Structure 1
Amino acid sequence: MLPLLILRFLTSAIGQSTETSSYPPKEFMTSMADRMELLLLDRELISNLVLYAEKLQEKVDVLQRCAKAMRIPLETSKGKEEYLSNPLHSFQLIRHMHEDWRHLEKFMRQPVGQALAEHSERLLTLYRNTRHVPVSWELMPFLPEEFNQICRSSHQNKPSRLHCRYNTTTTPFLRLAPLRMEELSLDPYIVVYHNVLSDAEIAEVERVTEPLLKRSVVFDGKENKMSTSKKRTALGAWLPDYNMEVSGWPVIQRIFRRIHDMTGLIINDHQTMQLIKYGYGGHYDIHFDYFNASIPSIHAMGDRIATVLFYSCPAGYTS
């Protein structure tokens, strides 16, 4: 499958170099499919580099074996005139100078991996000839200074009576399996639970959710509807989803039970959670999680009163 996809990318790039109007420009910043082509191209270049290194190593191995074989008689002859007086040994030294070194010099001058280097150059040329969608300043999201300070880790919590402890009181189940809880703030109340999800659970959620991912939307208060926005550049899916694999339901139910254990809130059967995958440069502007708006779902289910985030780093997912 990998060579086939690489071929499709190269064919597309060749076509663009001759008829740029017949192919749309690549959106490497926003399109997952276009970024996948870059990933495949990068893999091809890395494979080519590995082959080039192997060719160099093969030449180094040959030269080391030759040097070792030629060094043996030289070391044996040290301080021994009878060794040099032997015509067979003298002939070997003369042969080295007359024949062996001439062939070795020719071998050392031979280029290594020339075809591989040219192949890498062709791949990079095809990428440079691929039309890219220009990213103008109008399309780039505006990030307030508060957001930049958080990203630079310049936000400092004020000293207070914060503790780290094992939570055994929120639900009766935590008496048997307490959770590691770290308090970050008392007002507003913010805590971090460590090692809540296992690696196997994270992998299972990502596996069943990957086919459901699509461009995330935000609520537009003026239009009173959900729509895409440059304020949020990510892919997302709501869970549980009746289109996902049946095998994924148990892990989703376990996560909801864990949310109940952490918060003590009642999680009903209609509760959903959102999985978000941030790509290159993906972000979400500063926002409130509650709506505080007159929309039918708020009247039916109520507004949001708490936020629970799971970070499945380093994959770039949040739930």
Structure 2
Amino acid sequence: MGSFKWLISLMLLTCQVLRQARSIEESSHCTSVAGMVKLLELEDQLIENLSDYANELEKRLETVRRSIDSLRLENQKARSSTVDYLSNPLNSFSLIRRMNRDWVIWQLFMEDPVGVTQADKIQTLREEMPTSTDVEEAVTALDRIQITYGLKVEDIASGYLNGKQYPISVTALDSYAMGQILFDQGNFIRASRWIYQTLTWMESFKLPEPFLLAKDEVRTFYAETLLKLNEKADALKVVNIALTDKPHDIKLLVKKMEIEALIRTGTSNQQPQPKNPLSNPNRSPTLYEMGCRGMYPASTDSKLVCRYNSTTTPFLTLAPLKMEIVGLNPYMVIYHDVLSSAEIDEMKEMATPSLKRATVYKASLGKNEVVKTRTSKVAWFPDSYNSLTLRLNARIHDMTGFDLSGSEMLQLMNYGLGGHYDKHYDFFNATEKSSSLTGDRIATVLFYMSDVEQGGATVFPNIYKTVYPQRGTAVMWYNLKDDGQPDEQTLHAACPVLVGSKWVCNKWIRERAQFRSRPCLKK
């Protein structure tokens, strides 16, 4: 009997682990624009469900109908131009936040005998909705955009992104969620700015029912955030303003006494900020951020030219490729017009159903893991998957002259809200290299399958190079030196997507098959 109970416990634990793994890999709604399309379809179902509920509630009909009109207008606006809508980080963040939070409020609002059927439907659909983890990821993504591109909270809130005005702004619920989650993460400086933005919004606008957010609640939270920053005098001012509206509120009076006691005793309530110096919003940009912002100096190397490549393979004699030499140390070139529109459309259609959260291999654990430094969704395809993959690999051979035997599969990726890949190398470390039958990654070929309105560049901070996504182009660089040693100049990163949907396809080429085309040379 004891063994049976132990077996049941083990099965339950296994199910829980599998559910958690699924929620990490399959949820991750904000890590791919293509993946978020389903959210709009799901939201449309929820709106229709709400419409059914409204028909049964005549005494609350006006409130519900007004909400339906507002929700449907936004959803139809999104569905009429889905990619453009989801490409804007403010739309993406607001979609995820309202799907995670607003519909829970609607569920509570509808939990009345009259609306039992409609409430049950929302409950059924909640498994497909974003989780709290998704909202936290969306907050982190929007925060990453702000930090990387040096944007102001008030500009983001008004839809003014990196010098361009968009017809979108965040609501008090959006900015308050940003402040709450950043506060929970210990980022009190940035949290305070989003909470202040919430108060600014509430001075001019009013939230519709049932989304009632009280000013005193926001002010109290703002005061608490200021205390974490040891701004006691400012915190007291905020509480006093709140007391003008509610002079007898017990919680506000207690908070006032608490702050006054801290001021009298000189006690600090300041909490340590994250130790990472990059968390300071007033610092100078890093080399990586400079690249993302287009601040690298222009190259003056006269050897960097554009020409037709007709010599790498015999086929190029008949169909040369347009090649732009970007750098010589390491060797890096851009090929223009190497993908047709038809090929790009087929690649996207092929990849979309198979997209999964991208992972990074952890040598210490011997397995791949989801990490915060890489946010995108990916699909892998063998070289012989279909005629298109065969053509792509033949083209890569023409571009590089390399033998693709033993190289890795084609990897198609789509980046979502603030999607990025932090600084990394494509080559392996010495331990991993020695255990690989096909050798290290001698070269990388990266195809850009879409233009990106803002952001999404590939930057090489050690050599001050920035390559911007351009539909149909491909960038290729060597990861290893002539003697086969890793080239640390190839450190690179994918900047966060600011506005747009970034699609790429890459191929990592292994070294062992290149002993004839590029032998290891001794210095």
Q: State TM-score, norm by structure 2.
A: 0.37
Cα distance in 2 for partners of 1:214, 1:31 equals: 9
Q: Deviations over 1:35-59 (max 9, x none)?
A: 3355348889xxxxxxxxxxxxxxx
State the 1:228 CA deviation.
Answer: 1.0
Q: Where do 5+ consecutive residues of structure 2 fail to align?
A: 1-26, 46-63, 76-97, 105-131, 140-180, 188-275, 279-284, 452-500, 506-523
1:39 aligns to 2:181 (yes or no): no
Task: Pick from 380, 389, 412 the counterpart of residue 275 of structure 1.
Answer: 412
Cα distance in 1 for partners of 2:376, 2:441 equals: 22
- 1:288: which partner in 2? 425
- Write the letter of the residue equivalent to 1:169: T
Q: Deviations over 1:67-92 (max 9, x none)?
A: xxxxxxxxxxxxxxxxxxxxxxxxxx
Q: Deviations over 1:220-268 (max 9, x none)?
A: 13323221101101101222288xxxxx611001000101101111112
1:164 aligns to 2:137 (yes or no): no
Task: Pick from 502, 505, 515 the counterpart of residue 316 of structure 1.
Answer: 502
State the 1:180 CA deviation.
Answer: 0.3
State the 1:210 CA deviation.
Answer: 1.8
1:305 aligns to 2:442 (yes or no): yes
Cα distance in 1 for partners of 2:395, 2:348 equals: 18
- 2:388: which partner in 1? 251
1:150 aligns to 2:151 (yes or no): no
Gap change, CA 1:38 and 1:269, over 3 Å in 2: same
State the 1:182 CA deviation.
Answer: 0.5
- 1:29: which partner in 2? 30
Q: Which moved more, 1:29-38 or 1:148-157?
A: 29-38
SS at match of 1:309: strand
Q: Deviations over 1:2-44 (max 9, x none)?
A: xxxxxxxxxxxxxxxxxxxxxxxx9753487983355348889
What are the within-5 Å matches in structure 2 for residues 29-108 of structure 1?
29-30=30-31, 35-36=36-37, 38-40=39-41
1:129 aligns to 2:102 (yes or no): yes
State the 1:163 CA deviation.
Answer: 0.8
Q: Is the 8 A contact 2:321 2:336 kept in 1?
A: yes
- 1:83: which partner in 2? none
Task: Pick from 391, 398, 402 the counterpart of residue 265 of structure 1.
Answer: 402
What are the within-5 Å matches in structure 2 for residues 104-119 of structure 1?
119=68
Cα distance in 1 for partners of 2:339, 2:34 equals: 29
Q: Deviations over 1:131-161 (max 9, x none)?
A: 5634445499x87823221211112343112
- 1:61: which partner in 2? none
Cα distance in 1 for partners of 2:186, 2:32 equals: 15
Gap change, CA 1:157 and 1:223, over 3 Å in 2: farther
- Write the letter of the residue equivalent to 2:397: H
- Write the letter of the residue equivalent to 1:317: W
- 2:337: which partner in 1? 195
- 2:474: which partner in 1? none
- 1:182: which partner in 2? 324
How many aligned positions are there?
218
1:226 aligns to 2:368 (yes or no): yes
SS at match of 1:147: helix
Cα distance in 2 for partners of 1:129, 1:287 equals: 38
Cα distance in 1 for partners of 2:315, 2:386 equals: 21
Gap change, CA 1:232 and 1:122, over 3 Å in 2: closer
- Write the letter of the residue equivalent to 1:281: G
- 1:21: which partner in 2? none
- Write the letter of the residue equivalent to 1:282: G
- Write the letter of the residue equivalent to 1:179: L
Q: Is the 8 A contact 1:221 1:293 kept in 2?
A: no
Cα distance in 2 for partners of 1:290, 1:298 equals: 13
Gap change, CA 1:232 and 1:163, over 3 Å in 2: same
Cα distance in 2 for partners of 1:296, 1:232 equals: 22
Q: State TM-score, norm by structure 1.
A: 0.59
Cα distance in 2 for partners of 1:158, 1:296 equals: 34
- Write the letter of the residue equivalent to 1:174: L
Q: Is the 8 A contact 1:147 1:285 kept in 2?
A: no
Q: Is the 8 A contact 1:224 1:295 kept in 2?
A: no
State the 1:122 CA deviation.
Answer: 5.4
Gap change, CA 1:271 and 1:121, over 3 Å in 2: closer
- Write the letter of the residue equivalent to 1:316: K
- 1:74: which partner in 2? none
Gap change, CA 1:309 and 1:218, over 3 Å in 2: same
